Amino acid sequence: MNRRPVFLITCLCFGFAFFYIPILSIIVFSFNKSRLVSVWGGFSTQWYGKLFENDQIIEAAKLSLSIALVSATIATILGTMAGIALARFKRFRGRTLFSGLVTAPLIMPEIITGISSLMLFILMADWIGWPGERGFTTVTIAHITFSMTYVTTIIHARLSSTDISIEEAALDLGSRPWQVLTDITLPVIAPALLSGWLLAFTISIDDVVITNFTTGPGATTLPILIWSKVKLGVTPDINALATMIILIVGVLVVTAGIIMHRAEARRERDIQMAINANT
């Protein structure tokens, strides 16, 4: 099309305004002097000072981070296993139930996952005496269960699109199955492993509903802290906290995007050079 799609660009700008005005509003009002959340009362950085003095917020951030690190790592291991099982083992007993179990958590409303996990933990404590109290362990288990299926979806898609004949060739040439896994399959899916881990990490660190139901009195994650504060009313220090989170996430995502973009460009250039060299 030689005409510029003026109407479409207008729509896109409108959409971005819708996306970013609320976020910009949070950032602007985090520097507000007034206690009132959205009435401007002059410039001040006092809420940031209050934020760093608040041990509760720092403890919650640490807990969120450690839960996310542990659960993303275990979810990546379990999810990768499930992805390999679904993509590479065409027949095994209970495969239908297994593929159902892998897709169901993706569409299950979070509130149902939350209450069902809580009932499981309470009933298990009743029957076998474990878990004694809810907190880090129960939240981590619930997060792993929820996020491993996202990892499985990513790994499954990646393995389905790669050629199985390389693995078969290695087996024919006398490699042990374990060698094939570590020398061929895992390197092939390495980018998918990274994006699966990142997705599991984000899901865990951002989760409110499932954490709300599976956590105990001693373990407050950052989203739960924000959740309980927001339910009581909006306070300006959340604006400062939100700005910090948005900035950290924004810098990380943009950096990751640029790195991935560069890697992609380099790969395309290498392929082009290889083609040129061969002709």
Partner 1 sequence: MASGSAHFRLKQWFHRTGWRSTIIATPYVWLLAFFFLPFLIVLVMSLATQADVSPPFAFGAEWPYVTFDNIARLFEDSLYIRAYLISISNAAITTVICLIIGYPMALCLTRVGKTWRNIFLMLVILPFWTSFLLRVYAWIGLMGTNSWFNKGLTFLYNTLVPSGSTLTSIPMMNSNFAVILVMVYCYLPFMVLPLYANLERLDFTLNEASMDLGSRPWRVFLDITLPLSIPGIIAGGLLVFIPASGEFVIPSLVGDASDPMIGRVIGDEFTAARDWPMASTVAVALLILLVLPTMAYTHFDSKAQAAREPNP
Instruction: Please report, as residue ranges, which positions from 196 to 215 form the binding site for partner 1 (by CB under 8 A).
Output: 202, 206, 208-209
Cβ 279 to partner 1, closest distance in Å? Answer: 25
Out of 65, 69, 70, 81, point to the residue binding partner 1 (CB under 8 A): 81
Based on the shown chain and the rule CB under 8 A, indicate whether residue 18 belongs to the binding site for partner 1: yes
Cβ 111 to partner 1, closest distance in Å? Answer: 4
Site for partner 1 in 82-101 (CB under 8 A): 82, 84-85, 89, 92, 94, 98, 101
Based on the shown chain and the rule CB under 8 A, indicate whether residue 35 belongs to the binding site for partner 1: no
C-alpha distances in Å from residue 29, one per residue of 46, 48, 231: 12, 12, 19
Containing 20, the helix (H) or strand (E) segment is: helix 6-29
Query: Phi and psi at residue 217, in whole multiples of 5°?
Result: -65, -35
Rg (CA), the chain: 24
**Residue of 185, 194, 200 lying closest to 87 (CA atoms):** 185
Out of 44, 70, 105, 170, point to the residue binding partner 1 (CB under 8 A): 105
* Sole window of 10-18, 44-52, 54-62, 129-137 interacting with partner 1 (rule: CB under 8 A): 10-18
Binding-site string for partner 1 from residue 109 to residue 148, where x marks contact by CB under 8 A and - marks none: xxxxxxxxx-xx-xx--x--------------xx-xx--x
H-type helices in 30-109, by residue range? 46-53, 55-88, 95-107
Query: Phi and psi at residue 68, in whole multiples of 5°?
Result: -65, -40
Which residues, other chains included, contact 32 with Cβ-Cβ below 8 Å and sequence gap of 6+? 39, 40, 41, 42, 43, 44, 47, 236, 239
**Residue of 233, 257, 253 lying closest to 245 (CA atoms):** 253
Based on the shown chain and the rule CB under 8 A, indicate whether residue 216 belongs to the binding site for partner 1: no
Based on the shown chain and the rule CB under 8 A, indicate whether residue 59 belongs to the binding site for partner 1: no
* Sole window of 32-40, 51-59, 158-166, 188-196 interacting with partner 1 (rule: CB under 8 A): 32-40
In the three-class reduction of DSSP (H, G, I as helix; E, B as strand; rest coil), residue 91 is classed as coil
Instruction: Tell me the helices (H) and strands (E) count for the chain, helix number first.
Output: 13, 0
Site for partner 1 in 226-265 (CB under 8 A): 226-227, 230-231, 234, 238-239, 242, 245-246, 249-250, 253-254, 257, 261
Based on the shown chain and the rule CB under 8 A, indicate whether residue 16 belongs to the binding site for partner 1: yes
Cβ 256 to partner 1, closest distance in Å? Answer: 10
Based on the shown chain and the rule CB under 8 A, indicate whether residue 36 belongs to the binding site for partner 1: yes
Cβ 276 to partner 1, closest distance in Å? Answer: 21
Which residues, other chains included, contact 8 with Cβ-Cβ below 8 Å and sequence gap of 6+? none
Tokens of 178: 């374990």
Based on the shown chain and the rule CB under 8 A, indicate whether residue 48 belongs to the binding site for partner 1: no
- With CB under 8 A as the rule, give the number of residues binding partner 1: 83
Instruction: Yes or no: say if 242 and 229 are a contact pair by the CB < 8 Å rule.
Output: no
Based on the shown chain and the rule CB under 8 A, indicate whether residue 177 belongs to the binding site for partner 1: yes
Based on the shown chain and the rule CB under 8 A, indicate whether residue 11 belongs to the binding site for partner 1: yes
Q: Which is nearer to partner 1, 191 or 262 (CB)?
A: 262
